[in-house]
Amino acid sequence: MPTHLHFEEGDYLNCRFAHSPLWETQAAAHMLKRPDRQAYQRPWLRRTRRRTADLDLTPLWLLMPQRGLTPGWLCPPQTTPAAGFEEELAHVRAADPDAARADAVRSLRATPGALGLARDRGWLRHPSRMIREVSDTLEQMWTRLVEPDWPRMRTLLEADIAFRTRQLAEHGLGELLPGISALCSWRPGTLTVQGRADLERRLDGQGLVLMPSVFVWPHVIGSFEPPLQPVLAYPARGIVELWAEPAPHDRDTLPRLLGRGRAAILCSLDAPASTTGLAERLNLAPSSVSSHLTVLREAGLLTARRHGRQVLYERTGLGDALTTGS
């Protein structure tokens, strides 16, 4: 079923990028429920198996129908490009109980038996209990499964945003939007998204928040119903390599030339990354990574640019040539 989003002049000016730890936590929970979404996540699933052993995700899964919409109150509006999880979860906990109940019933009806299970839990009589149980489950999911790997994920998401921002500046929405997923198509003034909702919406100046995600592949997901801020989450670039361990460099020529630490950093920058992200990925002290980045940049092998609160580093042409041997 398609969703058609109609752009007017003001909407082009209000398209922006963001990433959301809350959306990633929900997407991870949904992925755990759907084996068809796990192809690129198997290394992550193996490394988190012990953390998921006694984690009960039933409260979340009840509100995540395979064919149907997740309640809007679980997807608070993206007011900043990089909100913190605690800030986003506070919006969920503050949901209006009566409105949350009505929204949840629609989602529950999309899954056979889910409405009865919700009644058994007392959700329909006491929607505040539902909000509390779902929020507590989200917090456990974040703390135990997503937060330990969030620096690595955030680096990937920020790299995707940097790439897409350049693409938007150089080629415009007409090339950007169809390129984020085969499920998206564009004709002048209208974005069509193939998904679970049949909807027509004029954006009326609100624009569209574009949000890369580690866990939504192979789909795109969105929050499109008025009056919510329209949001489109799509698979980030580089998820295939996200959980791969860095290749050993001890026997290469590059470590002998640059030193092991600098060579590892240079070879890891297939996509732009921050100091914190590189330190997490390579298991190095941030101070050491910062020192190596300075030397590599002064040697003309890296460039740096600010993105939000972080500085992202990427290889220059010379840096690429050194890592590929060309």
Are 75 and 201 contained in the same domain? yes
Do 85 and 9 share a structural domain?
yes
Residue 180 falls inside a structural domain: yes
Whole-model pTM?
0.74
In a domain, 101, yes or no: yes
Question: Are 260 and 228 in a shared domain?
Answer: no
pLDDT of residue 292: 94
pLDDT digits (tens, 9 = 90+) for 13-41: 889 999 999 999 999 999 998 888 888 89
Supply the pLDDT for residue 238. 84
pLDDT digits (tens, 9 = 90+) for 215-253: 999 889 888 888 888 999 999 988 887 887 655 544 567
In a domain, 242, yes or no: no
Q: Which domain holds residue 56?
A: 2-235
Please check whether residue 68 is in contact with residue 225, taking contact to mean a CB–CB distance below 8 angstroms.
no
204 shares its domain with 301: no
Nearest CA to 311 out of 326, 289, 283 is that of 289
- Could you tell me if 121 and 67 lie in one domain? yes
Task: Tell me, yes or no, whether 55 and 183 share the same domain.
Answer: yes
The reported pLDDT for the residue numbered 226 is 80
Within-domain flag for 25: yes
209-213 and 16-17 beta bridge pairing: parallel
**Maximum alpha-carbon separation in the chain:** 68
Residue numbers of the chain with a pLDDT score lower than 50 = 249-250, 326
Domains identified in the chain, total number: 2
Share of the chain above pLDDT 90, in %: 44
Please tell me whether residues 192 and 276 are part of one structural domain.
no
* 19 DSSP assignment: B
Residue 308 maps to which CATH number? 1.10.10.10
The backbone torsions φ and ψ at residue 246, rounded to the nearest 5 degrees and listed phi first, read -60, 140
Residues in the chain: 326
Q: What is the DSSP letter of 130?
A: H
